[in-house]
Structure formats: C-alpha cells, structure tokens
Copies of this chain bind each other. A is one copy, B any other.
Amino acid sequence: PKTFKIAVLPGDGIGPEVVEQALNILNVIADASPDLSLDISTHLFGGCAIDAVGKPLPEETLAACKSAHAVLMGKCTPIPALSDSYSHLGSVGGPKWGVGLVRPEQGLLALRKELGLYANIRPASFASDSLLSHSPLKESVAKGVDFIVVRELIGGLYFGERKELTSSTGGTGFAQEDAAYDTMIYSVGEVERITRVAAQISLACDPPLPIHSIDKANVLASSRLWRKIVTATIEREYPMLVPLLDHQLVDSAAMVMVSNPRKLNGVILTENMFGDILSDESSVIPGSLGLLPSASLAGAPSKTTTCSGLYEPIHGSAPDIAGQGIANPIGTILSAAMLLRYSLGLEKEAAAIESAVRKVLDSEETGGHGFRTKDLGGNVGTKEIGAKIAEVL
C-alpha cells in the first residue's frame, strides 16, 4: 500500500480535542482503503512548545513537517477563536503567551516560510441552507454565498524588509521623526505562481469559477504589478479563463462582500495582507467559524498533481472553552478532507467526508435541527459529532 507521512501539530487550547476527531476520520478512510496507509506522528508547536522547549517551532517539529506529505494542525494562536468572547476580543496573542517576547505567531510565520506554503485556500460557504439563520447577513443577502479565498501567504508586508521603532534620542523617549516601516514587495514570479493556484482551483470546478483578483492598483505600485502579472499569466497560460477574470479594488471588495456578497462568488485572489483581512471578513458570512477549514499549499494542485500542505481550521485556540469537550471539530475534519484532496490526491475520499459532514449537520435526529455543537445552537459534544461523522462515513 502507498504510505503517506502526516505530521500532526495539535497545538494549544482546543487544538488537541479537534485534531483527535479529525485523525479518527482519517483513520476510518485509511482502514477502508487497502492500498492506503498513513504514517502519523505528533509534534510540539505553538504555546505548548514555548512551555516545553522555549520556542514555538522546535527544530524537530520543523524537520518532521518538511519530510511529511502533509501537516495537520490544531491551533496555536488564539485569534480568531471559536467562542464568542474570544473571537471578539481580538487582542494580540493569548492570555498566556500573547504578550511575551516569544510569541506563537512567530512559529506560524516561520513554518509557512520554511515549508514554502505560498498559497492559503479558505473556502467560505454554507454547508447547508439550514445554517442561513446563523449568518449575520439577511438571509436574502447571504443565500448562495460561495467564496474560495486564495491568499498569497509568504510575500508582501509580512516578509518584506522592516524597521522597528528605536529611540534615536538614546533615552526612553522618542523623537517626532523616529519611524518604523514594513515593505509590501512582490516579484513577478511570486504573483505568477499564486495566479496558477487560483486558476487550478477555478478549473477544478465544472464550469470553471470566476476569478476576482483584488488589489489597490489606483494607489500602490505592488498592486499595479499584481494586476499586470495576474492578467498576463491568465492570458498566457489559461486563455479559457480570460472571460472569467476581473479586478476589484480592495476597499470596494470589502464593501461588496457585505452588501452584495454573491457578486464575489468564485475564487477571490489576493496578496497576503489584503487576504488576511478579506478572508476573515468572508469567514463570518456563513455564520459559523467552527465549520470552516483551510489549506496552505506549497504548489498548485490540479486533478492530476498533488503538493505538500498544512491544513488547519480557521478558528482560534479558544483557551476559554478548552478541555470542556464542546468545541466544534468540523473545521478540522473538513481540513483533513482538504488534506486528502490536495496533498494525497484522494478526491473521492475528500468528497465523502464533506458529504458526511453535511448529512450530520442536517440530520433529523435532534428534531430536524441537526446534530450540532454549542456554537451552532446545539448541545452535542466534540467527540459525539466526530463519532457521528465517522458512522455516516
């Protein structure tokens, strides 16, 4: 049987609980496929790694991730979070590690860079129309929303040259002209490769999805490069997608995403910082952060090619509800489905998990309100949801 190496980083807070359920599901899949075998190893990452060895991304963890076909992650940062209190606090870092010199975020950024994970994929849609009532948008506005955000993840402001604020007076005070900066820089090659990811994701659907490229080309030089290279790459390599490509300004996109979100249905292709903002904005529209998965890829996957990647739910580590067995494991389970699709090339198995999740959410068992965790108004626990999905599978 073909063996795939999977590095698992359960992380902090609710991470270990939700990862456990996703691993169960992966094992169900592996048990049912005689020619598939998973070699799963677990490693320290994030706050728990800071506690154990003084840094968020230990060498051993990085090495294991580098040699794996895919990485499955629980959660190391507490933002955004599953629970209401947490997702709305929005402060930097968690109650424990957030303010220190060594922060879990640094481990996350280093891991993305070291593994070359340049493409972050965040779908946001309604797993079921029965969830429309959970959206903050009017049902008529939200109905049918179906985004896939493709965010460049290791370029731009996040990794450009930067200068911290330092006191030029030598004392503790700062002079008026003391400054700090970050650089939003993109090269032609960086934009070409992320455009290919967006194109492949579009083409994986039948008919192919529209691609909305987001920039601020009326002001920024890096956005003018972005717009030019996205256009040229699609024209040169994906001529059939030319009629499906449009360009939107980031401010306008942030607006339309709320006022008329279906206009952005399809693939939303964007650079790192804009993607950070828009993917979070998009993720609250379907009404439950707990359901949404993500993938961070080191290549452009197609029906015939796979690439290595890191998979994690989009919610945070939610320390306030950790250990209570009430966290929603579905975001992590759907992340595992993405792992099967993009890194292992197992489309059928991925689709089976997605369909099982939908069935469980819509099951009639609890009076037609579905089998749901607390964040969706239900009272079913983390393990029970996981077990139910495994059963349906």
Using a CB-CB cutoff of 8 Å, which residues 280-297 of chain A contact chain B?
280-281, 283-285
Taking a contact as CB atoms under 8 Å apart, the answer to whether A249 and B90 are in contact is yes
Contacts of A189 in B (CB 8 A): 176-177
Contacts of A252 in B (CB 8 A): 79-80, 87-88, 90, 280
Partner of A219, one of B91, B105, B246, B278: B105
Taking a contact as CB atoms under 8 Å apart, the answer to whether B185 and A180 are in contact is yes
Taking a contact as CB atoms under 8 Å apart, the answer to whether A254 and B254 are in contact is yes
Contacts of A186 in B (CB 8 A): 179-181
Contacts of A279 in B (CB 8 A): 251
Which A residues have a C-beta under 8 Å from some C-beta of B?
A: 79-80, 84, 87-88, 90-93, 103, 105, 109, 135-138, 141, 157-158, 160, 162-165, 174-189, 192, 216-222, 224-225, 228-229, 246-260, 263, 273-274, 276-281, 283-285
Number of copies: 2
Contacts of A162 in B (CB 8 A): 220-222
Assuming A163-B221, A174-B229, A254-B278, what are 14 further A-B pairs, CB within 8 angstroms? Answer: A80-B255, A87-B252, A87-B259, A92-B217, A92-B247, A93-B218, A164-B224, A175-B188, A176-B189, A179-B186, A179-B187, A180-B225, A255-B281, A255-B283
Partner of A137, one of B137, B158, B188, B273: B137
Taking a contact as CB atoms under 8 Å apart, the answer to whether B184 and A178 are in contact is no
Taking a contact as CB atoms under 8 Å apart, the answer to whether B183 and A187 are in contact is no
Bound together, the chains give a CA A188 to CA B163 distance in angstroms of: 13
Contacts of A163 in B (CB 8 A): 221
Contacts of A141 in B (CB 8 A): 136
Residue of B nearest to A165 (CB): B225
Taking a contact as CB atoms under 8 Å apart, the answer to whether B157 and A219 are in contact is yes
Contacts of A219 in B (CB 8 A): 105, 109, 157-158
Bound together, the chains give a CA A272 to CA B160 distance in angstroms of: 19
Contacts of A277 in B (CB 8 A): 250-251, 254, 274, 277
Contacts of A253 in B (CB 8 A): 90
Bound together, the chains give a CA A177 to CA B277 distance in angstroms of: 27
Taking a contact as CB atoms under 8 Å apart, the answer to whether A176 and B182 are in contact is no
Taking a contact as CB atoms under 8 Å apart, the answer to whether B263 and A281 are in contact is no
Taking a contact as CB atoms under 8 Å apart, the answer to whether B280 and A281 are in contact is no
Bound together, the chains give a CA A386 to CA B58 distance in angstroms of: 66
Bound together, the chains give a CA A258 to CA B286 distance in angstroms of: 11
